[in-house]
Amino acid sequence: MHRKIIHVDMDYFFAQVEIRDNPKLRGKPVAIGGSSDRRGVLSTCNYEARSFGVRSAMPTYQALHKCPELILLSGDYSKYKEASDQVLTIFKLYTDKIQVVSIDEAYLDVTDSKLFFNSATLIANDIRKTIKAETGLTASAGVSFNKMLAKIGSEINKPDGLCVLDPINYKDIIPDFKINCINGVGKVTHKKLIENGIHTFADAMKYTKLDLINLMGSFGPSIYDYCRGIDAREVTTSYERKSLSVERTFQEDIKEVNDLEYRLRGCYEEMIDRLKKISERIIKTIYIKIKYSDFKQTTIEQGINDLDFKHFFSLLVERLRQREVEINVRLIGVGVKFHSEKLKGQLSFSF
């Protein structure tokens, strides 16, 4: 029997909450994150901002260059958490098999639901209507028989849309999907796939599993399955996050330490913002990650829970000094590792 999976994704969530609470912002380009001094990166933006080429994770200075009229808000996490909790409460009306992926998205397994004659499509539509009625926010949903296709479906008719990829129609639809629809295909992986002529699912289907293993290593079998609509992952109702990180790949390799410090700070600010969403976790280690222009990568960590930026920058400087030759940097990242979830406590932020 095919499973019935729904992926619900709130539309431009943080910005949408702000617009809901301040209707004067409606119809104007709005972004959350960054800072007024043009440093940092955006957390999210609405579709009016996206029409100018602004997108999440974009440096603030670049976003303001593309859209000088962009309304930049620092954001209020307590409001977003409250709205997220409301949405989760709504999900629980339909199933207890819920995998919360982030503050604004989740998978729901409704395979055994008796609601709406066990129609996942009707359930998804009702979820969206209920969210709109009770929170004033819109959500998009994807309905399918596995997690991968449900997630892709939730992106197809955004915003405020629904897409169904069922066991009958999916084979006719997915061959044209872009290969970077697959979760885990980032910029570097995407570039490598493109260089080998793999632009779409149909292109990937021309390769054998061994070909993809030789090309993409351990990720090869997943690509082989995903491009055929195969995904056996279950909707898991709980898991323990072991780490959290933010990284950036640069369009051009960077050599100057001052420039690297600036990019590192952008990653750091986004990481701090994301850590506030899981403030009950206790940090045991901080670390940074560097990938050089020759694609070799390295990490360096320190066993402390002090999140002052100076500690991350010190790790960066220490690792750069250890280079035997001067090599430009193509990726930089920051991260933390957590103690077991059994150890409860509050993060102590130091700035």
User: Side by side, which strands form the sheet with 162-165?
Assistant: 98-102, 105-109, 5-10, 139-144, 162-165
Quick one: pLDDT at residue 179? 96
Q: Element (H or E) spanning 86, and its range? A: helix 77-91
Tell me where in the chain the CATH 3.30.70.270 domain(s) lie.
Answer: 1-164
Please give the CATH topology (third level) of the domain spanning 243-338: Dna Ligase; domain 1 (3.30.1490)
**pLDDT digit string, tens, across residues 76-93:** 888 999 999 999 999 999
**Which pLDDT score is estimated for 91?**
96
Render pLDDT for 237-286 as a digit per residue (tens, 0 to 9).
Answer: 866 678 899 988 887 888 888 889 989 999 999 899 888 877 778 899 99
Q: List Cβ neighbours of 86 (8 Å cut-off, separation of 6 or more).
A: 134, 135
pLDDT interval class at 132 (50, 70, 90): very high
CATH architecture of 172-226: Orthogonal Bundle (1.10)
pLDDT attached to residue 347 = 39
From the list 18, 105, 247, 269, the catalytic residue is 105
Instruction: Indicate the SS3 state at residue 56.
Output: coil
The fold for domain 1-164 equals: Alpha-Beta Plaits (3.30.70)
Give the angle 173-175-178 at the CA atoms, nearest 5°: 105
Using CA atoms, how far residue 82 sits from 17, 135, 237, 280, in Å, is 10, 10, 20, 16
More confident residue, 278 or 139: 139
Pairing of strands 98-102, 105-109: antiparallel
Every domain of the chain with CATH number 1.10.150.20 lies at 172-226
- In the prediction, which pLDDT does 238 show? 66
**CA–CA separation, 310 and 306 (whole Å):** 10
Please state, rounded to an integer, the average pLDDT across all residues of the chain: 90
Q: What is the mean pLDDT of residues 121-139?
A: 97
Q: Which amino acid is at 189?
A: T
Q: Assess whether 301 carries a catalytic annotation.
A: no
**Cβ count near 90 (within 10 Å):** 19
Residue limits of CATH 3.30.1490.100 in the chain: 243-338
Q: Over the stretch 205-231, which tens digit does the pLDDT of each residue have?
A: 999 999 999 999 999 999 999 999 999
Higher pLDDT, 341 or 12: 12
